[in-house]
Amino acid sequence: MKRKKVSVIGAGNVGATTALYLAEDNLCDVVLVDILEGMPQGKALDIAEAGPIRGYKGSFTGSNDYSAIAGSDLIVVTAGLARKPGMTREDLLNKNAEIVSGVTREIVKHAPGSMILVVSNPLDLMTYLTWKVSGFPSERVFGQAGVLDSIRFRTFIAMELGVSVSDVQGLVLGGHGDSMVPLPRFTTVSGVPVTELIPPDKLAALMQRTRDGGAEIVKLLKTGSAYYAPAASTVQMVDAVLNDHKRVIAASVYVNGPYGLKDMYIGLPVILGARGVEKIVELPLNAEESSGLMKSAGIYKETLAELKVNA
């Protein structure tokens, strides 16, 4: 059976780690593309040479030419500038919009039948931009957001309780940024609601740490941003699509009606499978949760108005 093909645009830390995790999981053939001459070729070769020991198979190639992405089943877009200390996700807007628009046009030219998974920040805005510029159906364009936010929330809960992170399931909605909405009511430890295990004040602190999760790592690293967890989150989504797992996960998706939201990309629970975003799952949010989601959407809409979309 022919192996699936995934191309990763941007061979920096997130892109290269995504390619490595894809290799480790034996999910597909991988193409790394970057504008820096030699970098994607060198990283792809390095990954390939680890194969005899790590036990993975397949083709791993690097290129500075977008024609290499032809025939891809899915494109992962990580291209863009990394967030620096003191820089908000919105500060990245104008700089990364130009980069992502150019990448999207190359995808349309060379891989018009592909799906697009956006990882570039500001995530929700870049995913909306990609959808507009590509002209692809919205179910084929989605962003990696809620998975990363959710695993950060799960990690902090596991640390607090001293339990296996594998037993914690969590859900975070809203924009991928400071206005995200962790949902403790839908977060459990082996089926037990986390609200029964952690006092409200401590749980509120963990929720805030989740909102600040990316900034916390940026502050610690000083010269970069997170890449292991973002790459792992990306690969989980790729796996769901390539293997039609129909995973119920939070992703940045186009919404025009559900949850009372109109014409935007924002983090919501979806069923992700071979057709991309197969369904938005509508949860019965209470007043506080709904208010948080609406506030997040409002902030997003304000920033979206500053985004010049040249489709």
At 198-224, the pLDDT tens digits run 999 999 999 999 999 999 999 999 888
Over residues 153-160, mean pLDDT: 98
- pLDDT for 89: 59
Which of 93 and 11 is assigned the larger pLDDT?
11
| Amino acid 90: pLDDT | 63
If you average pLDDT over residues 133-147, what whole number do you get?
96
**Is 176 marked active-site?**
yes
User: What is the torsion angle, in degrees rounded to the nearest 10, for the CA atoms of residue 292, residue 295, residue 297 and residue 303?
Assistant: -140
Question: Do 307 and 97 contact (CB within 8 A), yes or no?
Answer: yes
Distances 219 to 88, 225, 232, 267 between C-alpha atoms, Å = 12, 8, 21, 24
Amino acid 307: pLDDT: 74
Over the stretch 51-62, which tens digit does the pLDDT of each residue have? 999 999 899 999
Distances (CA, A) of 247 to 136, 171, 294, 310: 22, 13, 25, 33
Average pLDDT over residues 84-92: 66
Question: 17-26, 86-95, 154-163 — which is least confidently predicted?
Answer: 86-95
Torsion angle in degrees (nearest 10) through CA of 242, 243, 246, 250: -50
Single-letter amino acid code for the residue at 43: K
What mean pLDDT do residues 161-175 have?
95
Binning pLDDT at 50, 70 and 90, where does residue 178 land? confident
pLDDT value of residue 294: 95
Of all residues in the chain, the percent with pLDDT exceeding 90 is 84
pLDDT in tens, 30-76: 999 999 999 999 999 999 999 999 999 899 999 999 999 999 999 99
Which residue shows structure tokens 């992703």?
251
Half-sphere exposure of 241 (CA within 13 A, CB side): 30
Q: Give residue-wise pLDDT tens across range 96-132.
A: 899 999 999 999 999 999 999 999 988 999 999 999 9
Domains and CATH numbers, the chain: 5-143 (3.40.50.720), 146-304 (3.90.110.10)
Which band of pLDDT confidence, cut at 50, 70 and 90, is reported for residue 229? very high
Q: Is 293's pLDDT higher than 60?
A: yes
| First CA to last CA distance, the chain | 37
How does the average pLDDT of the chain come out, rounded? 93
The yes-or-no verdict on residue 311 having pLDDT over 60 is no
Tell me which of 4, 83, 154, 176 is the catalytic residue. 176
